[in-house]
Chains A and B, each alone.
Chain A
């Protein structure tokens, strides 16, 4: 089957500035793909190109088999869902009326609103005016709007920015459930924890160029420093070498019943990002 997204040598210039520079990657059907990068690295620009809001300056991008050319394509728009950080919901309307509008626009089935509200945990708020909701709830309304019509491919531009961990976890749960039903998800974030818990594969974006692309596990393994191991014993924290001598020392703590914890020194995704790009994520 053709990939959900295929991007090759894609560039986007704004006057003399390159927002994206020869970016290539593919997203398979059914994947949760993370686009990780600091502010200004080009994440939103990529989402805009893939959803037909911006034209590429060079290279090409195919989304669900169709070339993204910076034009409105209603047939294509029907198959994708989009949620951005500025949520764009109608504050004076109720949660239900907001979704009923988009149910009409996508010609979705009558009962889709109730089911979608259930899936994002807002079934009890259908009659509440959006104005009266908390920020986390509003974000979930925006998510419900994006997946109401059961899109094949969902674009999320920083879906949990400015959310507390509780609300972010709720959104993550809803996204995993959706993904289990077959929806491909393309997500941008500068939150490495989010990328790690949610994504099958992650691309690192820095100044418009990709500097790494792999599964979170392989990224961490390939950059792990395997020469040392951190041990916490009852007399304190020790860093021992990963060799015969180190093994003897660890065995000693174990025999004495003094070993409290043991860690291989694997880096966080944030550490790897700094190592590869010399920049921090936030």
Chain B
């Protein structure tokens, strides 16, 4: 059956209305804004100060909120009803992603209002954020699909996200060979490096390798997510 924008829109609207009435999701979503108070406005030229509020907004709001939405549908048995409607998996997952992205966008704006708006090439910045967001939405969806309940998310997702978020922060200071090697691969590391490059030189060409790496992560994360979804049957 053809892809239906009306169905995607119905899911996105439902997801949005549900999210803004869900204290757990609102709390998770707002966490990055609270964290951004830890960063000092005066050091706005330091890439880390600019990068981490964005990184947190994309990873915590993007991945965790998305995981929460998916896992709650499983826990409350509503995912079965969606699968028993004509809505395709793509419509369901994209609809959720639209709502999560809107939330993540608000949180990013909030975080940057607390710290400062980076003085960087807007196209490059948008591309970096967008690619990281897509990858994390796919990670979040996968985590949600692998969890049976909302509380499972922390068990399945927390260790992974800790490595991915903290990696770029710790990797250089810890000075462990293999850990740095892992960190060099992380999408978040490419995001930080790309942002640093953007702040330093301001040219898109300089961050091409990082954009490519992030695009690769997007594709990999989406494939992983689709693989997990297609193996999922009606029964948990």
Contact = CB atoms under 8 A, between A and B. Distances in A.
A105 B87 contact: yes
A88 B18 contact: no
B86 A105 contact: yes
Contacts of B86: 74-75, 77-78, 105-107
B1 A74 contact: yes
B4 interface: yes
A124 interface: no
A19 to B, nearest CB: 13
A239 interface: no
Contacts of A74: 1, 86, 88
Contacts of A107: 4, 6-7, 86
Contacts of B4: 107
A206 to B, nearest CB: 24
B10 A92 contact: no
A54 B7 CA distance: 25
A93 B17 contact: yes
Interface in B16-63: 17-18, 21-22
A242 to B, nearest CB: 52
Contacts of B113: none
A54 B21 CA distance: 35
A89 B78 contact: yes
A82 B84 contact: yes
A232 to B, nearest CB: 50
A105 B78 contact: no
Interface stretch (A30-38, A95-103, A165-173, A260-268): A95-103
A48 interface: yes
A132 to B, nearest CB: 13
Give the one of B6, B7, B86 with max A CB within 10 A. B86
B173 interface: no
Given A105-B7, A105-B87, A88 B80 contact: yes
A53 interface: yes
B160 interface: no
B148 interface: no
A75 B13 CA distance: 24
Contacts of A90: 14, 18, 76, 78
A188 interface: no
Interface residues of B, number: 27
A204 to B, nearest CB: 27
B234 interface: yes
Contact of B85 (A84, A92, A93, A106): A106
A101 B10 contact: yes
Given A104-B9, A107-B4, A77 B85 contact: yes
A100 B7 CA distance: 11
Give the one of A75, A104, A106 with max B CB within 10 A. A104
Contact of B77 (A72, A88, A97): A88
B85 A105 contact: yes
A48 B7 CA distance: 24
A77 B1 CA distance: 11
A75 B1 contact: yes
A270 B80 CA distance: 33
Interface in A62-121: 72, 74-75, 77-78, 82, 84, 86, 88-93, 97, 100-107
Interface of A: 48, 51, 53-54, 72, 74-75, 77-78, 82, 84, 86, 88-93, 97, 100-107, 145
21 contacts: A51-B84, A53-B235, A54-B234, A74-B86, A75-B86, A77-B86, A82-B81, A84-B80, A88-B76, A88-B77, A88-B78, A90-B18, A90-B78, A92-B17, A97-B14, A100-B10, A100-B14, A101-B11, A104-B7, A104-B13, A107-B86
7 closest pairs, A vs B, by CB? A104-B10, A88-B81, A53-B234, A74-B86, A101-B14, A92-B21, A105-B85
Given A53-B80, A74-B1, A102-B10, 17 more contacts: A77-B85, A86-B77, A88-B77, A88-B78, A88-B81, A92-B17, A93-B21, A101-B10, A102-B85, A104-B7, A104-B13, A105-B7, A105-B11, A105-B85, A106-B85, A107-B7, A107-B86
